[in-house]
A and B are shown apart, each in its own frame.
Chain A
Amino acid sequence: MVKSTTKDAQDLFHSLRSTYVATPTNLKIIDLYVCFAVFTALIQVAYMALVGSFPFNSFLSGVLSCIGTAVLAVCLRIQVNKENKEFKDLAPERAFADFVLCNLVLHLVIINFLG
């Protein structure tokens, strides 16, 4: 039973890996950025667990800026991905411009909230 699940997990892993290698480079860059942002958020949460959450607004603004930019990058990836039929007549420049604008607003609010 255990063996079959480990074999299943390995098969899963290999299958995912092989499909993922085929994705275009620009999407892989976005994925890397998302992983980096989530990783930074996790580090901040771990730090908060260590030292306490006293300036709570600072903690929230830090974590939410990471999560926010990760989510916006995922949205960008969705819009830029050639395989999504819904967005095929959306120019990638427009998608990127929207992404930049939303990030700008996000970081402006974060700066105000950081205290």
Chain B
Amino acid sequence: MIHEFDPYFNYRTTLFLTEKGFYEFWNWFDSESWYPLGRIIGGTLYPGLMVTAALIYWALRFLRFFVHIREVCVLTAPFFASNTTLVAYFFGKEIWDTGAGLVAAVLIAICPGYISRSVAGSYDNEAVAIFALLLTFYLFVKAVNTGSLAWALGSAFGYFYMVSAWGGYVFIINLVPLYVLVLLITGRYSMRLYIAYNCMYILGMLLAMQIRFVGFQHVQSGEHMGAMGVFLLMQVFYFLDWVKYQLNDTKLFQTFLRITVTSAILVGGIALGVGTASGYISPWTGRFYSLLDPTYAKDHIPIIASVSEHQPTAWSSFMFDYHILLFLFPAGLYFCFKRLSDATIFIVMYGLTSLYFAGVMVRLILVATPAVCLISAIAVSATVKNLTSLLRTKQKVSQTGSTKGAGSSKASSKVTLDQSQPFQKNGASALLVGVFYLLSRYAIHCTWVTSEAYSSPSIVLAARGAHGNRILFDDYREAYYWLRQNTPTDAKIMSWWDYGYQITAMGNRTVIVDNNTWNNTHIATVGRAMSSNEDEAYEIMRSLDVNYVLVVFGGVTGYSSDDINKFLWMVRIGGGVFPVIKEPDYLVNGEFRVDKGASPKMLNCLMYKLCYYRFGELTTEYGKPPGYDRARGGEIGNKDIKLEHLEEAYTTSNWIVRIYRVKPPTNRL
């Protein structure tokens, strides 16, 4: 089964790709979402994931395994997670040695930070994107280490795959130039760096521009200008280096240096200034700007602030997702600094920058996971190596008792033993036992986390009954299939944007807004409709040709992610575009209430009426009055709700999803 919300859209597009072929997919205009605007799907998605799943599907079909595309989609993420493990091994081998590679592969195989997005059923962009990210970084570091054009070409292809898979490719196109800059400044540059970066940048940029969604951003967007700046800087830098080598006379070279540097800075500065001022180079978009300035989204872009994945990370999340890797990370940093090389500088920079961003947004813990695993692996591998070599040399000295001179010199060349500490062997073995105990606790923690937190498909809810048995709430799918079977095929459904993808994929009906959230005004219109009273909302719904309204209500089951709890975000987003919606109108003394003391505007708004219609007659809990809302923990204020322009079409068995039909206008007479 496909989990969550976004994977349903990805599944629908993959289905379309396998049924209609690549050309139709690339030029697809979808009129079933964002009614009446439609959506140019071919040009506004990252095709990597869908194309990968389709290729696997066609390969299996060619081998005469007739699987359903849904099975391929569900299992794509774990397949690529195992590929990531392989790449982590090679990357660890490149940075440190084979031991570190092995430990890195083991750590990343079960790390909860990565598992959260790569369970079977999580058919989302990050499933292949993290594989592409690590592959690109590995190939680039290999290119810098060997100086071979072939590896640099490989990293360009890795970058192309990353660009096709996820919008997070901006991280690569900024981290790699930053790394080059750091190497240039610290004087560790070499010819290999020039070859690696230039080949990757030019070929990678060209390949990336083949994706329609990315388009010309590599030369026009502020987020990509860093890479271009470093590219030009490199040309100037290496040219100066070559001239210096040719000249052998420092005085002449100084003058030449002065002239070139001033002219280069002037030209570069003027170009950048003109570009930014004239608006040709677009500034950093809100999504990435809110990473640099975390308070930006809350004030200016409520849609980005409202997503729960975009909240700042708490320490408990770090501990939950990383466990022992949290304190192995600084230890690994220490080892990296002891043995600095091009590769270790890269992994240190990757780790530090990604951890900073992981602190800003919860969902970016995923991007930091490979770096944390690799650096921790270095710590574990180096420590275990030191300890075991201590154990081994002790035995050698004790064996070669007669030829003591030769034996002790051999031993001292490997490890300098301190003869004044007689219990070193015991200490070393005790520490080794400690290390293995830690690693085993890590494994236990990871399996526990996976089973408790990251296995739920979130479209089917589970709870414990009174006798401890597990009860499943399948209301979402029940409602979507009701829509699919009982509404006319051209019906338009209005709901909050969270459910758009699922309604289109499972209910097969046109929706007004969905999870793509590309049009803020359209979403604000829906938010305004939900927050207004029934007559005003009816006007808006008539203007959008809405036939059915779908709301999610958790009052009967105690489900807390329902629309009433999201209601304030609807008000904020609606109020961001239509100033007639004011958030304080819905609050009482700054508090959000749904009981008798709630504000009148709240008690009469469409969302309230649709959620609590006929709820006043229902007894939800023993000993509580009828109309007791189990999610908010209070008795609702307005129990006698009458609907004038809508009528109830369907309520699921646990009242989680409620569907209403919009009545046509009454006759004028």
Interface residues of A (CB under 8 A from B): 5, 8-9, 11-12, 15-16, 19-20, 56-57, 60-61, 64, 67-68, 71-72, 74-76, 78-79, 84, 86-87, 90, 95, 98-99, 101-102, 105-106, 109-110, 112-113
Task: Classify the interface of chain B: helix, strand, loop or mixed.
Answer: helix
Contact B210 A112 (CB under 8 A): yes
**Chain A contacts of B554 at CB under 8 A?**
none
Task: Give bound CA distance, A76 to B198, whole Å.
Answer: 12
Task: List, sorted by A's number, 27 A–B pairs whose CB atoms are closer than 8 Å.
Answer: A11-B252, A12-B247, A12-B255, A15-B246, A16-B243, A16-B246, A20-B246, A57-B209, A57-B216, A61-B206, A67-B202, A71-B199, A71-B202, A75-B194, A75-B195, A76-B149, A79-B195, A84-B191, A90-B148, A98-B149, A99-B149, A101-B153, A102-B152, A105-B156, A105-B203, A109-B210, A113-B210
Task: Give bound CA distance, A84 to B202, whole Å.
Answer: 24
**Chain A contacts of B149 at CB under 8 A?**
72, 75-76, 79, 95, 98-99, 101-102
Contact B199 A72 (CB under 8 A): yes
Task: Classify the interface of chain A: helix, strand, loop or mixed.
Answer: helix
- Interface positions of B from 181 to 217, Cβ below 8 Å from A: 190-192, 194-195, 198-199, 202-203, 205-207, 209-210, 216
**Chain A contacts of B255 at CB under 8 A?**
5, 8-9, 12
Contacting residue for B209 out of A71, A79, A98, A113, CB 8 A: A113
Task: Give bound CA distance, A97 to B209, whole Å.
Answer: 26
Contact A105 B249 (CB under 8 A): no
Contact B210 A75 (CB under 8 A): no
The answer to whether the Cβ of B147 comes within 8 Å of any Cβ in the partner chain is yes
Contact A68 B203 (CB under 8 A): yes
Contact A64 B202 (CB under 8 A): yes
**Chain B contacts of A106 at CB under 8 A?**
202-203, 206
Known A15-B252, A19-B246, A75-B149; contact A102-B203, beta-carbon cutoff 8 A = yes
**Chain B contacts of A61 at CB under 8 A?**
206
**Chain A contacts of B209 at CB under 8 A?**
57, 60, 113
**Chain A contacts of B192 at CB under 8 A?**
86
A69: nearest chain-B partner, CB-CB:
B202
Contacting residue for A87 out of B191, B203, B249, CB 8 A: B191
Q: Closest CB of chain B to A93's CB: distance in Å?
A: 13
Contact A75 B198 (CB under 8 A): yes
Q: Closest CB of chain B to A63's CB: distance in Å?
A: 10
Contact A12 B252 (CB under 8 A): yes
Q: Closest CB of chain B to A92's CB: distance in Å?
A: 13
The answer to whether the Cβ of B219 comes within 8 Å of any Cβ in the partner chain is yes
The answer to whether the Cβ of B433 comes within 8 Å of any Cβ in the partner chain is no
The answer to whether the Cβ of B256 comes within 8 Å of any Cβ in the partner chain is yes
Best-surrounded residue of B148, B149, B194, B243 (most CB of chain A within 10 A): B149
Size of B's binding interface in residues, CB under 8 A: 31
Contact B252 A64 (CB under 8 A): no
Q: Closest CB of chain A to B250's CB: distance in Å?
A: 12
Best-surrounded residue of A67, A71, A78, A79 (most CB of chain B within 10 A): A71
Contacting residue for B195 out of A8, A64, A78, CB 8 A: A78
The answer to whether the Cβ of B59 comes within 8 Å of any Cβ in the partner chain is no
Apart from the given pairs A15-B247, A101-B150, A102-B152, 9 other A-B contacts in the complex at a CB distance below 8 Å = A16-B246, A64-B202, A64-B206, A67-B202, A79-B147, A98-B150, A98-B153, A106-B202, A109-B206
Contact with A along B617-636 (1 / 0, CB 8 A): 00000000000000000000
**Chain B contacts of A67 at CB under 8 A?**
202
**Chain B contacts of A79 at CB under 8 A?**
147, 149, 195
Best-surrounded residue of B190, B206, B216, B256 (most CB of chain A within 10 A): B206
Q: Closest CB of chain A to B74's CB: distance in Å?
A: 33
B239: nearest chain-A partner, CB-CB:
A74
Task: Give bound CA distance, A87 to B248, whole Å.
Answer: 22
A110: nearest chain-B partner, CB-CB:
B206
Q: Closest CB of chain A to B227's CB: distance in Å?
A: 14
Q: Closest CB of chain A to B586's CB: distance in Å?
A: 47
Contact A8 B252 (CB under 8 A): yes
Q: Closest CB of chain B to A71's CB: distance in Å?
A: 5
3 tightest A-B contacts by CB? A98-B149, A19-B246, A68-B202
**Chain A contacts of B199 at CB under 8 A?**
71-72, 75, 102
Contact A109 B203 (CB under 8 A): yes
Contact A98 B206 (CB under 8 A): no
Contact with A along B546-574 (1 / 0, CB 8 A): 00000000000000000000000000000
**Chain B contacts of A95 at CB under 8 A?**
149
Task: Give bound CA distance, A15 to B210, whole Å.
Answer: 46
Contacting residue for B206 out of A11, A68, A72, A101, CB 8 A: A68
B151: nearest chain-A partner, CB-CB:
A98
B220: nearest chain-A partner, CB-CB:
A56
Q: Closest CB of chain B to A6's CB: distance in Å?
A: 11
B234: nearest chain-A partner, CB-CB:
A71
**Chain B contacts of A57 at CB under 8 A?**
209, 216
Task: Give bound CA distance, A74 to B238, whole Å.
Answer: 11
Best-surrounded residue of A8, A12, A19, A67 (most CB of chain B within 10 A): A12
- Interface positions of B from 146 to 172, Cβ below 8 Å from A: 147-150, 152-153, 156
**Chain B contacts of A15 at CB under 8 A?**
246-247, 249, 252
Contact B194 A102 (CB under 8 A): no
Task: Give bound CA distance, A5 to B216, whole Å.
Answer: 43
Q: Closest CB of chain B to A62's CB: distance in Å?
A: 12
Known A15-B252, A16-B246; contact A78-B191, beta-carbon cutoff 8 A = yes
Q: Closest CB of chain A to B238's CB: distance in Å?
A: 8
**Chain A contacts of B191 at CB under 8 A?**
78, 84, 86-87
**Chain B contacts of A5 at CB under 8 A?**
255
Task: Give bound CA distance, A73 to B545, whole Å.
Answer: 61
Best-surrounded residue of A75, A84, A87 (most CB of chain B within 10 A): A75
B160: nearest chain-A partner, CB-CB:
A109
A20: nearest chain-B partner, CB-CB:
B246
**Chain A contacts of B190 at CB under 8 A?**
86
Task: Give bound CA distance, A85 to B25, whole Å.
Answer: 51
Task: Give bound CA distance, A20 to B202, whole Å.
Answer: 28
A4: nearest chain-B partner, CB-CB:
B255
A97: nearest chain-B partner, CB-CB:
B150
Task: Give bound CA distance, A15 to B250, whole Å.
Answer: 12
**Chain B contacts of A105 at CB under 8 A?**
153, 156, 203
